Amino acid sequence: MKRIACIDGIECLFSKEAAEHVLFLTTEKSVSAMFVREHFPQVQVCFLDADKPLDLFSNDEEVIRHTNILDAMRANGSDELFLSHRSSPFIESWARQNGIRLLQTAWSYQETFEEKLFFQKFLERNGLPTPMTRILRKPEDASGVSVFPVVLQHPALLPPIEHTVVSNAQELEAYLAKFQAYLPLLCRAFTEGMPLGVTLLIGRADTIVSALRLQCFAPEPPLQEFLGVHWIPRCDVPAAMIRTIEDVLLRLANAMRTAGFRGVANVDLIASDRSVVVLECNPRMSSSTPELAVQPELLHGLDFFAEFRRALAGKRLGANLTTVPDTVFRGSYIEFDYLIQRMPKGYKNVTIPPVGFYHWGNGTWKPTGRGAFSGKNEGLFYAALPATSPVSCLYNLAALFTNFPLFDIDGKGVPTMNSNGAELLQTIECSILGAPSPHPA
């Protein structure tokens, strides 16, 4: 097997089947390089040269446009490139011209299935459950909305309209008048229930369903940012609800397969005792897919990256597993991007702690010196930035994957950060900022 190139990607590092064939592309100042060299000696690390200052979190297309990635791949015997996020028409044209095989779902499928209007119509056409939905194409369409509250979504999730809750008809009319330039919008009846996420691996004949995760947000304005996810065991969800979820997911996977889709699909659901509805689909790697690679039990014990690669190659997957795995894992994932929006005034630089596995205990966050989870109360801190990074250039900051819960779940299935999680986050925030910051919990 020739080497598989990736740009600061985690998923392929933890693949037992593929890791020895990985070419890890990064920049010389990235804090990820030392971690990879120390704990993954079988992985070839290659530093890229750029023709301009480059934030590797911008996107893969920018890396391809502005670095010597093609020369680096050829010099190291690589003709496959794993895309850590989205493909694009430019990337696919570049790959065809240079004989590179892309390890990512084709751009045409990513674009259509992630576009909210298309996906809503796709769900309706295939008889899949969705919230009561209207498409508002002009301000006058507000008169047809009679049930409140509703959630407004732009088809491409453009700010300032990402997930906006509107309480009454007057508020809706005023909102559409103000943001008329963003029409059309999806207008969905607000649905109470557990905000669940799940990953589907869809091959030519098989489907693999991941464990379930709850989406977690800071609770009060103005700090209602997305914080991350909390993985929940199957037993935490009522049996009847699990059966309904599995039925919906199987029907969705079969419909996407029939439409030609292959690869990974991250699906958002709202589940309650009354119903399970599908909200949206992100047909690409996401903030949750690295933990599927780090923690195989979340995918029935299978090798996530190896199965993803088989799906794209049109091969049979390692199994056809359409049930939610029976895990005991209650770990969490945190995105530290909320710090970018709430950076205290006067900060010019942030300090990125070393990438690696840490142990949390007695208020102390210490490196374990290992390259995998080896005990309780551990987490993987990951970033792909220089150790000292200017605030003005930050797009993504860092991520944390833990094998212990940072959130508690109330009787309605809503996650709230627990005191242990709050203390840990504040400790890491202090490492990044050099001083305490307002807490998201």
pLDDT of residue 55: 54
Locate tokens 């694009």: which residue? 88
Query: What is the C-alpha separation between 23 and 8, in angstroms, rounded?
Result: 10
- Domain final position from 155, 189, 223: 189
Judge if 82 and 156 occupy the same domain. Answer: no
Q: Are 44 and 76 in contact (CB under 8 A)?
A: yes
- Domain final position from 151, 172, 189: 189
- Nearest of 290, 389, 355 to residue 56 by alpha carbon: 389
Judge if 162 and 99 occupy the same domain. Answer: no
The answer to the question of residue 439 being in a domain is no
The answer to the question of residue 327 being in a domain is no
Residues spanned by the domain of 169:
132-189
SS (H, E, C) the chain: CCEEEEECCCCCCCCCCCHHHEEEEECCCECHHHHHHHHCCCCEEEECCECCCCCCCCCHHHHHHHECHHHHHHHCCEEEEECCCCCCHHHHHHHHHHCCEEECCCHHHHHHHHCHHHHHHHHHHCCCCCCCEEEECCHHHHHHCCCCCEEEECCCCCCCCCCEEECCHHHHHHHHHHCHHHCCEEEEECCCCEEEEEEEEECCCCEEECCEEEEEECCCCCCCCEEEEEEECHHHCCHHHHHHHHHHHHHHHHHHHHCCCCEEEEEEEEECCCCEEEEEEECCCCCCHHHHHHCHHHHCCCCHHHHHHHHHHCCCCCCCECCCCCCCCCCEEEECCHHHHCCCCCCCEEECCCCEEEEEECCEEEECCCCCCCCCCEEEEECCCECEEEHHHCCCCCEEEECCCCEEECCCCCEEECHHHHHHHHHHHHHHHCCCCCCCC
Spatial strand order of the sheet with 101-103 comes to: 44-47, 22-26, 3-7, 78-82, 101-103
Q: What is the CATH number of the domain that holds 163?
A: 3.30.1490
Query: What is the C-alpha separation between 237 and 244, in angstroms, rounded?
Result: 11
Pairing of the two strands 378-382 and 399-402: antiparallel
Judge if 346 and 297 occupy the same domain. Answer: no
Judge if 245 and 339 occupy the same domain. Answer: no
Judge if 179 and 201 occupy the same domain. Answer: no
Judge if 274 and 221 occupy the same domain. Answer: yes
pLDDT of residue 1: 73
The answer to the question of residue 337 being in a domain is yes
Question: Cα angle at 235 between 230 and 240, to 5 degrees?
Answer: 110
The answer to the question of residue 10 being in a domain is yes
For residue 217, give both structure tokens.
């947000």
Locate tokens 């015997």: which residue? 77
Judge if 175 and 206 occupy the same domain. Answer: no
Q: What is the CATH number of the domain that holds 28?
A: 3.40.50.20
pLDDT of residue 254: 98
pLDDT of residue 56: 45
Query: What is the C-alpha separation between 333 and 360, in angstroms, rounded?
Result: 15
Q: Please provide the size of the chain in residues.
A: 441
- Domain final position from 73, 92, 108: 108
Q: Are 384 and 28 in contact (CB under 8 A)?
A: no
Judge if 214 and 298 occupy the same domain. Answer: yes
The answer to the question of residue 320 being in a domain is no
Judge if 280 and 374 occupy the same domain. Answer: no
The answer to the question of residue 19 being in a domain is yes
* Domains of the chain: total: 4
Query: What is the C-alpha separation between 172 and 1, in angstroms, rounded?
Result: 57
Is residue 363 exposed (0-12), middle (13-18) or buried (19+ Cβ within 10 Å)? Answer: exposed
Query: What is the C-alpha separation between 352 and 385, in angstroms, rounded?
Result: 7
The answer to the question of residue 113 being in a domain is no
Judge if 220 and 207 occupy the same domain. Answer: yes
What is the value of pTM for the model shown?
0.93
Judge if 183 and 209 occupy the same domain. Answer: no
Judge if 185 and 235 occupy the same domain. Answer: no
pLDDT of residue 18: 87
Query: What is the C-alpha separation between 109 and 284, in angstroms, rounded?
Result: 10
CB atoms inside a 10 Å sphere around CB 158: 11
Report CA-CA distances (Å) from 253 to 64, 259, 261, 390.
32, 10, 9, 42
pLDDT of residue 5: 96
Which amino acid is it at 87?
Answer: S
Say if residue 222 is preceded by a cis peptide, omega within 30 of 0. yes
Q: What is the CATH number of the domain that holds 224?
A: 3.30.470.20
Q: Are 195 and 213 in contact (CB under 8 A)?
A: no
**Per-residue tens of pLDDT for the chain, all 441 residues:** 789 999 888 899 999 988 889 999 988 778 888 899 999 999 999 999 988 765 544 688 988 999 999 999 999 999 999 998 889 999 999 999 999 999 999 999 999 999 999 999 999 999 999 999 999 999 999 999 999 999 998 887 655 556 788 999 999 999 899 889 889 999 999 998 999 999 999 999 999 999 999 999 876 544 457 889 999 999 999 999 999 999 999 999 999 999 999 999 999 999 998 899 999 999 999 888 999 999 999 999 999 999 999 999 999 999 999 999 999 999 999 999 888 777 767 777 888 899 999 999 999 999 999 999 999 999 999 988 888 887 766 667 889 999 999 999 988 788 899 999 999 999 999 998 876 554 444
The answer to the question of residue 276 being in a domain is yes
